[in-house]
C-alpha cells in the first residue's frame, strides 16, 4: 500500500508540473467567436457583423440636410477624362464607372484592363450601361452641366500651369545646386596657387626686326611680338639659326641703322622698349653678320 500511494503521488505531481511548464511557454489563446455564435443562435440573412453591431437610431421626422455639389464631384467624375460622366459604363468586375468613349479608347489603344484597378476586361462586353447614374447626374446638375465642366476645365488648366511652374522652378534650383557642387568639387581638386612670379602673366613687347642697310635683300622687315623678359642673346640665336643659317661670322644686334651700338646678350627687350617709349618712337632692332676676320 505504501508503494502504490507513493507511485500515485509521483505520477500526479509529475503530470501537474508538466502541464504547468508547457502552458507557461505558450500564449493563452483568446476566443474571438462572436457572442451570438457562442450562445448558439443564428439569424438567417444576417452576418456576424450585422448581429453584433449596434443598431442605428431610426429617423422618424421628415428632416433633411443640404450638401454642396462639390462634395460629390469626385464620385461623379470619369477617372480618365476627369469630367462628368457621360453615357456611363460600369465594369461588371470591379464596378468602376467611366465615360463610354473614354473606356472604349482605353481598351482599344492601351490595355484590356480597368484603368483604375487593372482588373482584366477583355472586351467591351465586360462593361454594362448605367442609365440610372446618368439620370442622377442630370437631376443633380440639370442645365448647369456645361458650366460645371467649364469650371472643372479651368481648374485643371490652373493646376497644370502650377505644376509646370513648380517643375521648372525645381529644375532651376536643381541646376543651381549641381553647378555649385561642381564648382566646389573643382575648387577642391584645383592645385594650390603658386607664389612664384613664373605663373604671373608677363608683358609682351612688339618690335620691328630689320636687316642692316648693307644687306636689305636678305630679310624684309617684319613685326615680332615676344615676351618682354627675353634678352638680346635669345634674339641673336634666333637670327643666326632661322634667318641666317649656314653663314659664318658673328651676328650683331643694334638699335640703330648704322650699327654703332652693339647690344649685349643680357640686355632685355623690356628695357629697350621702355627707352623707345620715353623717346616716343617704336622699337626697331637691326641685325648684321660680321665676317669672321673682323
Q: What is the pLDDT of residue 219?
A: 67
Q: Which residues pair with 210 in a beta bridge?
A: 286
Check whether 118 has a pLDDT greater than 70. yes
**pLDDT tens digits for 222-231?**
778 877 778 8
For the ranges 69-83, 91-105, 141-155, 205-219, the maximum mean pLDDT occurs at 91-105
Q: What is the pLDDT of residue 166?
A: 92
Q: Whose CA is closest to 96, among 66, 65, 124, 75? A: 75
Of the candidates 104, 70, 110, the one whose C-alpha atom is nearest the C-alpha of residue 87 is: 104
Q: 46 is written with which cell numbers?
A: 444576417
Q: What is the pLDDT of residue 275?
A: 83
Residue 127 near residue 89 (C-beta atoms within 8 A): yes
The neighbour count for residue 97, using CB atoms within 10 Å, is 19
Distance, in Å, from the CA atom of 280 to the CA atom of 200, rounded to the nearest integer, reads 28
How confident is the model over 190-214, as a mean pLDDT?
66
Mean pLDDT throughout 37-51? 71
Report, as an integer, the average pLDDT of 113-117.
91
Q: Is 0.75 surpassed by the pTM of this model?
A: no
pLDDT at 2: 42
Sheet containing strand 222-227, edge to edge, reads 222-227, 204-211, 284-290, 250-254
Pairwise CA distance, residues 91 & 137, whole Å: 18
- Tell me if 286 sits within 8 A of 210, measured CB to CB: yes
Instruction: Centre a 10 Å sphere on the Cβ of residue 256 and count the other Cβ atoms it contains.
Output: 10
Q: Is 3's pLDDT higher than 50?
A: no
* 239 contacts 253 by C-beta, under 8 angstroms: yes
**Cβ–Cβ under 8 Å, residues 255 and 264:** no
| Residue 285 CB-density burial (10 A; 0-12 exposed, 13-18 middle, 19+ buried) | buried
In this model, does residue 37 exceed pLDDT 70? no
Whether the pLDDT of residue 149 is over 90: the answer is no
Output the pLDDT for position 200. 53
What domains appear along the chain, each with residue ranges and CATH number?
72-143 (3.30.40.10), 203-290 (3.10.20.90)
Amino acid at each position: 500500500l505504501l508503494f502504490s500511494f507513493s507511485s500515485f503521488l509521483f505520477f500526479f505531481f509529475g503530470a501537474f508540473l508538466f502541464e504547468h511548464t508547457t502552458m507557461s511557454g505558450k500564449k493563452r489563446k483568446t476566443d474571438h467567436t462572436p457572442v451570438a455564435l457562442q450562445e448558439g443562435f443564428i439569424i438567417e440573412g444576417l452576418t456576424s457583423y450585422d448581429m453584433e453591431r449596434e443598431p442605428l437610431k431610426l429617423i422618424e421626422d421628415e428632416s433633411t440636410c443640404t450638401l454642396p455639389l462639390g462634395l460629390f464631384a469626385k464620385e461623379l467624375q470619369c477617372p480618365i477624362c476627369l469630367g462628368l460622366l457621360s453615357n456611363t459604363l460600369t465594369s461588371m468586375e470591379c464596378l468602376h464607372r467611366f465615360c463610354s468613349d473614354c473606356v472604349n479608347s482605353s481598351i482599344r489603344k492601351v490595355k484590356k484592363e480597368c484603368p483604375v484597378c487593372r482588373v482584366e476586361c477583355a472586351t467591351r462586353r465586360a462593361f454594362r450601361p448605367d442609365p440610372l447614374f446618368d439620370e442622377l447626374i442630370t437631376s443633380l446638375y440639370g442645365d448647369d452641366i456645361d458650366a460645371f465642366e467649364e469650371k472643372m476645365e479651368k481648374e485643371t488648366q490652373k493646376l497644370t500651369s502650377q505644376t509646370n511652374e513648380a517643375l521648372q522652378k525645381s529644375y532651376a534650383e536643381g541646376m543651381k545646386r549641381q553647378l555649385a557642387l561642381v564648382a566646389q568639387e573643382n575648387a577642391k581638386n584645383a592645385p594650390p596657387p603658386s607664389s612664384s612670379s613664373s605663373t604671373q602673366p608677363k608683358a609682351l613687347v612688339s618690335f620691328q626686326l630689320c636687316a642692316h642697310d648693307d644687306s636689305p635683300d636678305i630679310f624684309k622687315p617684319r613685326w615680332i611680338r615676344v615676351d618682354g623678359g627675353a634678352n638680346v642673346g635669345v634674339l641673336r640665336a634666333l637670327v643666326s639659326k632661322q634667318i641666317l643659317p649656314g653663314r659664318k661670322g658673328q651676328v650683331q644686334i643694334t638699335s640703330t641703322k648704322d650699327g654703332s651700338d652693339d647690344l649685349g646678350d643680357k640686355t632685355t627687350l623690356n628695357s629697350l622698349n621702355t627707352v623707345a617709349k620715353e623717346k616716343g618712337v617704336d622699337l626697331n632692332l637691326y641685325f648684321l653678320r660680321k665676317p669672321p676676320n673682323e
